[in-house]
Amino acid sequence: MEPEDSNPDFITYEDLKHEFGESMFPGSLYLYSKEENDFRFKLRKYAQDEIAPLVPRIEKEANFELCLDAYQKLGKAGYLTLSFPKSIGGQGKGYVYRTIFGEELAAVNSAVVVTYGASANLFAAPIIHFGTEEQKKKYLTGIMKGEILGAIGITEPSAGSDAVGGMKTTAIKKGDKYIINGEKRYITNGSRADYILIYALTNPKAAKKHEGISAFIFPTDTPGFERVKDFDLAGRRGSINSYLRFKNCEISADNLVGGPEMENKGLKIMMSGLDGERCFTCSQYVGIARTAFEIATKYADKRVQFEKKLREFEGISFKIAEMYAKLEAGRLMMLRAARMLDDGLNATKEVAAAKFSCANYQMEIVVDAMQILGGIGYTKEFPMEQLLRDSKISQISAGTVEILKFLCQREIYQAFKK
Q: What is the Rg, in whole angstroms, of the alpha carbon atoms belonging to the chain? A: 22
Q: Is the dihedral of CA 101, 242, 70, 106 positive or negative?
A: negative
Strands 195-201 and 150-153: parallel
| Backbone angle region of 149, left / alpha / beta, with phi > 0 → left and psi within -120 to 50 → alpha | beta
Catalytic one of 59, 277, 294, 350: 277
* Residue 71 to residue 216: CA distance in whole angstroms: 24
- Exposed/middle/buried for residue 158 (C-beta within 10 Å: 0-12, 13-18, 19+): middle
Q: Is the dihedral of CA 78, 14, 390, 111 positive or negative?
A: negative
Q: Is 277 a catalytic residue?
A: yes
Strand partners, 256: 216
Contact 249, 224 (CB under 8 A): yes
Contact 102, 167 (CB under 8 A): no
**Residues annotated as catalytic (active site), given as ranges:** 277
